[in-house]
Structure 1
Amino acid sequence: MLKYSGQTRVLVAVDCIIFGFDGESYKLLLIQRGFAPEKKKWSLMGGFVQPEESVDEAANRILKELTGLENVYMEQLHTFGALARDPVERTIAVAYFALIDIQKYEKQLSKEYHAEWFPFKDMPDLIFDHGQMVEMAKNRLRYKASLHPILFELLPEKFTLPQLQALYEGLYDTTFDKRNFNRKLLSTGLFLKQQDKDKDSSKKGAFFYKLDQSKYLTNFEAFLKFIPNPEKFLIT
């Protein structure tokens, strides 16, 4: 087999930043590392790219191994290649972030990796440069959510307007005027009001809504910008 002569081989890894939303707050899915170095410390789910798979295929494999999920929203974030990022061997890591509905898929998590959901505000220290990966993923998600309805990947099929407001407020760590937020939300025409209510949070209850999938797909790029000047919310 033909190879380039005089070149040093390096490892390529994939790390998955898995975000979830439980109806009230955002969480990050972490595992306890099962081998040295940094054994039993908290880590993103990751692994090495195998010779027979692409980087995207490796990311999807790793996500499925941990959550049992396929065909969820996931996109490539950034390549991390600092010389000393892994103390064992020179390893270049390609980071991805994924969005999943916690309530729907929590029972499918693999027990092998001791996976646990952590609220953003209670996140433990992570190994290597994984903390930097998470902050960059938050930044990307905040910016994209201001332009497209990407956050609906985190919600169940039926949801309430208070849940939607909590979804946006939690990501941007701010508070929006309820009446103004609901008015902008419904003006998109993307939502179908249901007959039933969620009465868990109050006696009066809040009507459930569903996303109109046909309009969602055709108007994805034209989604109303809920967050003006999203750059002010970005982490620096």
Structure 2
Amino acid sequence: MTFMVTVDLVILTIRRAALCALLIRRAIPPFEGAFALPGGFVLPDEDLAEAAARELSEETGLTGVGHLEQLGTYGHPARDPRGRVVTVAYLALLPDAPTPTAGTDAADAVWLPVSDLPSLAFDHAAILSDGVERARAKLEYSPLATAFCPPEFTIADLRGVYEAVWSAPLDPRNFHRKATSTPGFVTPTGHSTAGERGRPAQLFKRGPATFLHPPLLRATP
């Protein structure tokens, strides 16, 4: 039996204080007109990461994603009506939200809040759910939240990332204490915000840590 291999991308960013995913509207069968994750078939002469970057550019016009990691492999026999297709999913995080441009087999490309998504083609709803949960969990134990931030950011900016991804408000003072006291999480840049009302805020950049200890744990429901 011949297996076909595709890549699918869970692309997340924060827009208007909400965690959003990048979706395309399919212009071709199967699932023509339905929303789906960006992705497509891997070409014979490219590796998986190259295929992911190519498909992202071809379908949305976006290049140079920030954080990119392999999310998982999905291979249910009935996941694709075109035949036996195994997909390798990637999780990518963007520090800002550039406007996507639809291309190739995409009729449209849009950012939509993960809290209010339409039905998705294939098994993309499950893949997207896995990607969101991966991002939420990694914020506890790694400096991944800084991938949503510009090179220099305030602690309030960083807190906003956690609140958007976790969908929960955080105490500002408690978060500031935890973020600045966690070894290697953030490093002061020596700069401050300017030209804004109120007291200037200190600017930080990502520190050298790859693992947060102690972790910044989510509140237990």
Q: Which residue of structure 2 lines up, in the alignment, with residue 19 of structure 1?
A: 12
Structure 1 residues 163 and 23: alpha-carbon distance in aligned structure 2, compared to 1, 3 A threshold: farther
Bigger fraction of residues in helix: 1
Shift of 1:64: 3.1
Q: Which residue of structure 2 lines up, in the alignment, with residue 68 of structure 1?
A: 62
Q: How far apart, CA to CA, are the structure 1 residues paired with 2:26 and 2:202?
A: 40
Tell me the C-alpha RMSD between the 2 structures.
2.2
Does the CA-based 8 Å contact 2:23-2:111 persist in structure 1? yes
Q: Which residue of structure 2 lines up, in the alignment, with residue 176 of structure 1?
A: 170
Does the CA-based 8 Å contact 1:13-1:47 persist in structure 2? yes
Q: Which residue of structure 1 lines up, in the alignment, with residue 187 of structure 2?
A: 191
Deviating more after overlay: 117-126 vs 181-190: 181-190
Q: Which residue of structure 1 lines up, in the alignment, with residue 101 of structure 2?
A: 110
Does the CA-based 8 Å contact 1:191-1:210 persist in structure 2? yes
The structure with the larger Rg is 1
Moved over 6 A (4+): none
Give ranges in structure 1 of 5+ residues lacking alignment: 1-7
Amino acid at match of 2:30: P
Q: How far apart, CA to CA, are the structure 2 residues paired with 1:180 and 1:198?
A: 26
Amino acid at match of 2:85: T
Structure 2 matches for 1:143-158, cutoff 5 A? 143-158=137-152
Amino acid at match of 1:210: F
Q: Which residue of structure 2 lines up, in the alignment, with residue 132 of structure 1?
A: 126
Structure 1 residues 222 and 163: alpha-carbon distance in aligned structure 2, compared to 1, 3 A threshold: closer
Q: How far apart, CA to CA, are the structure 1 residues paired with 2:141 and 2:133?
A: 13
Percent identity between matched residues is 30
Structure 1 residue matching 2:147: 3-state secondary structure: helix
Q: How far apart, CA to CA, are the structure 1 residues paired with 2:77 and 2:102?
A: 33
* Residues 51-91 of structure 1: CA deviation (Å, up to 9, x unaligned): 11112221122223334313631111111111110112111
Structure 1 residues 179 and 133: alpha-carbon distance in aligned structure 2, compared to 1, 3 A threshold: same
Structure 1 residues 101 and 222: alpha-carbon distance in aligned structure 2, compared to 1, 3 A threshold: closer
What TM-score results when the alignment is normalised by the length of structure 1? 0.82
Structure 1 residue matching 2:141: 3-state secondary structure: coil
Does the CA-based 8 Å contact 1:197-1:208 persist in structure 2? no
Query: In the alignment, which of 15, 25, 29 is matched to residue 22 of structure 2?
Result: 29
Structure 2 residue matching 1:40: 3-state secondary structure: coil
What TM-score results when the alignment is normalised by the length of structure 2? 0.87
Q: Is 1:44 equivalent to 2:37 in the alignment? A: yes
Q: How far apart, CA to CA, are the structure 2 residues paired with 1:198 and 1:115?
A: 35
Structure 1 residues 128 and 206: alpha-carbon distance in aligned structure 2, compared to 1, 3 A threshold: farther
Does the CA-based 8 Å contact 1:22-1:101 persist in structure 2? no
Give ranges in structure 2 of 5+ residues lacking alignment: none
Does the CA-based 8 Å contact 2:23-2:112 persist in structure 1? yes
